[in-house]
Amino acid sequence: MTNINETYNDPKKLANDYVHEVYEEVKKRNAGESEFLQATREIFDSLRPVFAKNPHYIEDGILERLTEPDRIITFRVAWEDDQGKVHVNRGYRVQFNSELGPYKGGIRFHPSVNLSIMKFLAFEQIFKNSLTGQPIGAGKGGSDFDPKNKSEREIMRFVQSFMTELSKYLGPDLDVPAGDIGVGRREVGYMTGQYNRIHGGFEPGVFTGKDPNYGGSLGRKEATGYGTVYFAEEMLKTNDLHFKGSKVIVSGSGNVSTYAMEKAIELGATVIACSDSGGYIYDENGIDVETVKQIKEVEGERIKKYRKYHSTAKYVEGCEDIWSLSCDIALPCATQNELDEAAAVKLIENGLKAVAEGANMPCTQEAINLFKEHKILFAPAKAANAGGVAVSAMEMSQNSMRLSWTTEEVDERLHTVMKNIYASCLQAAEEYGHPGDLVVGANIAGFLKVANAMVSHGIR
Ligand code: NDP
């Protein structure tokens, strides 16, 4: 480990050596976990100026402790399909950090789920949750279960089996999951039901993203998408740009995408394309978000069906090419690493002005580097999509107080939270010598609060 006394008179070298050594160790300990290493690398690069200015964090081993989860729970999920055939999936919960509050972060059901993806998402959640200013720690969970083409009863049986094991590790002051890819209100409802069945009584405060009729917060469903657009609008405003009159591409057509589209349209933008994992729809005159809701939320169908309602729209097989269209603002809202260097090149050639990440880590590092090089405004996920978890924390407060805020109240609070996050990212970037760099600003602002809590709680 770095000899602090020897190198103290060169704080920059000390910081660089420290970050380098810890990253090498993280690489060794987490070999092959590419998404987790990608997420840690990105944070580490931003934190060098923090360690140069505050070497006491090095003495406290903050980075070493921050990159090792409090605990990881993995378990078997056996369930029976409608034909009586038994299936086995793997369940995960990564309880990464509880310095600021109970573990908080969604549950993802998708065949791609593995430990690396769970760890990257839980790690990102540390900084995101810190940025919201709410008293919440960080976690993430899920399973490699694929909810596509399953009956409602199969999904219910799977969720009940999943929750039977996971419920041992949850509680309103311990760990409070929510939804994510493949997990919406219905699945959160089944999880709540099974948790209550096991523990007895009715405990609303152990999940967020619930149906507002049964303890959920109004405005939670919309929060991540709306929040992304609120954050992006702040960033655009600072640079004399606006959603009004802009052409926007939104990838995905799930929870985050739908409400990002809705808010962007409300602010006067034209959303020209959206997608699912099968392909994308495109209409220069604007996508009708109510039709998207009808297809995805009511009918549970593929985005391809949009043409049945709007024959002037085009449907293109394969989702990647959505980034070859020309737009002013790109909102990647589907999944990790969906916008790579080649996509960034096309977007820039076609006149792109700004990107805001609605999904977690949707842009590869190479794409982000290109955006920076070409002075494209860039809002990183951990700041831009923090609105969902911020309203989840509001749901926890409402559950504790046994009351419900109105949609308008929640939306106003969300808007304030997003403006505050933007301001703190800008301020941290400025203070640490990277004015206007929201990636560095978000990483540093998120880090400082957690690091200070770790110092104050002692080495553990
Ligand atoms: P959903 O499951 O509701 O929607 C995901 C959407 O993305 C679906 O339309 C899916 O299509 C599509 N999709 C998946 N892979 C691709 C791909 N490679 N290209 C294009 N579309 C794709 O998930 P959410 O909207 O909840 O989550 C989306 C992202 O936002 C995730 O990264 C998640 O972690 C992040 N996020 C979500 C929050 C929330 O509150 N829900 C909070 C913060 C972040 P298909 O149906 O074909 O699979």
**Atom 40, ligand 1: residue with shortest CA distance:** 388
- What is the pLDDT averaged over residues 132-141? 98
What is the DSSP secondary-structure string of 164-186? Answer: HHHGGG-BTTTEEEE-BTTB-HH
SS3 for 218? coil
Looking at 3.40.190.10, 3.60.15.30, 3.40.50.10860, 2.60.40.290, the CATH number of the domain 71-208 comes to 3.40.50.10860
Q: pLDDT over 70 for what percent of the chain?
A: 98
Hey, how many other C-beta atoms are within 10 angstroms of the C-beta on 325?
18
Compare 121 and 3 and report the one with higher pLDDT: 121
Please tell me the predicted confidence (pLDDT) of residue 9. 78
Encoding tokens for residue 221? 């469903």
CA 183 to ligand 1 center in whole angstroms: 10
Q: Give the pLDDT confidence score for residue 4 in this predicted structure.
A: 56
Q: Do domains 71-208 and 221-384 have the same CATH topology?
A: yes
Segment 197-220 shows an average pLDDT of 96
Q: Does residue 2 have a pLDDT over 90? A: no
How confident is the model over 157-181, as pLDDT tens digits? 999 999 999 999 999 999 999 999 9
Confidence of residue 1 (pLDDT cuts 50, 70, 90): low
Angle at 449 between CA 445 and CA 450, to 5 degrees: 115
Q: What is the pLDDT of residues 375-415, one digit of tens each?
A: 999 999 999 999 999 999 999 999 999 999 999 999 999 99
Ligand 1 pocket test target in 140, 335, 389 with most atoms within 8 Å of CB: 335
Left if phi > 0, otherwise alpha if psi is -120 to 50, otherwise beta: which for 335?
Answer: beta
Active-site amino acid positions: 140
Closest approach atom of ligand 1 to CA 178: 40
Domain 221-384 grouped into CATH 3.40.640.10: no
Closest by CA position to 89, among listed 100, 80, 98, 101: 80
Compute, in angstroms, the gap from residue 227 CA to the centroid of ligand 1. Answer: 15
Q: What is the mean pLDDT of the chain?
A: 96
What local confidence, expressed as pLDDT, does residue 396 receive? 98
Task: Give the pLDDT of residue 324.
Answer: 98
Q: Whose CA is nearest to atom 30 of ligand 1?
A: 359
Q: Which of 104, 224, 395 to mutate to test the pocket of ligand 1 (most atoms within 8 A of CB)?
A: 224
Alpha carbon of 354 to ligand 1 centroid (Å): 20
65 Cα–ligand 1 center, Å? 30
407-431 and 220-238 are packed helices; what angle lies between their axes, rounded to 10 degrees? 40
119 pLDDT above the threshold of 70 = yes
Please state, in angstroms and rounded to a whole number, the distance separating the CA atoms of residues 435 and 278: 40
Does the pLDDT of residue 270 top 70, yes or no?
Answer: yes
Size of the chain, expressed as the number of residues it contains: 460
Question: Distance from the CA of 315 to the center of ligand 1, in angstroms?
Answer: 19
Encode pLDDT of 52-90 as tens digits. 999 999 999 999 999 999 999 999 999 999 999 999 999
Fold for the domain defined by 4-67: Glutamate Dehydrogenase; Chain A, domain 3 (1.10.285)
Ligand 1 binding residues, C-beta < 6 A: 179-182, 224, 251-257, 275-278, 319, 333-335, 338, 358-360, 385, 388
DSSP letter string, 339-400: B-HHHHHHHHHTT--EEE--SSS-B-HHHHHHHHHTT-EEE-HHHHTTHHHHHHHHHHHHHH
Strands 247-250 and 86-97: unpaired
Paired tokens of 64:
């070493």
Bigger pLDDT: 63 vs 1? 63
pLDDT, average across residues 32-55: 96
pLDDT for the residue 133: 97
- Sign of the four-CA dihedral 387, 390, 394, 396: positive
Q: How confident is the model at residue 329 (pLDDT cuts 50, 70, 90)?
A: very high
With cut-offs at 50, 70 and 90, classify the pLDDT of residue 93: very high
CA 58 to the chain's CA centroid: 28
Atom 10, ligand 1: residue with shortest CA distance: 276
pLDDT > 80? residue 5: no
Q: Is 81 left (phi over 0), alpha (psi -120 to 50) or beta?
A: beta
Give the C-alpha distances (Å, rounded to integers) separating 15 from 3, 412, 447: 11, 40, 15
Domain ranges of the chain: 4-67, 71-208, 221-384
What number is the average pLDDT over the span 211-234?
A: 97
% of the chain residues with pLDDT over 90: 97
The predicted model gives 179-189 an average pLDDT of 97
Does residue 3 register a pLDDT over 60?
Answer: no
The 10 Å Cβ neighbour count of residue 436 is: 15
In this predicted structure, the answer to whether residue 8 has a pLDDT above a threshold of 70 is no
Cα 228 to Cα 359: distance, rounded to the nearest angstrom? 9
Query: What pLDDT does 157 receive?
Result: 98
Token digits of residue 328: 């002013």
| All residues at 6 or more sequence positions from 154 whose CB lies less than 8 Å from its CB, including other chains | 79, 81, 82
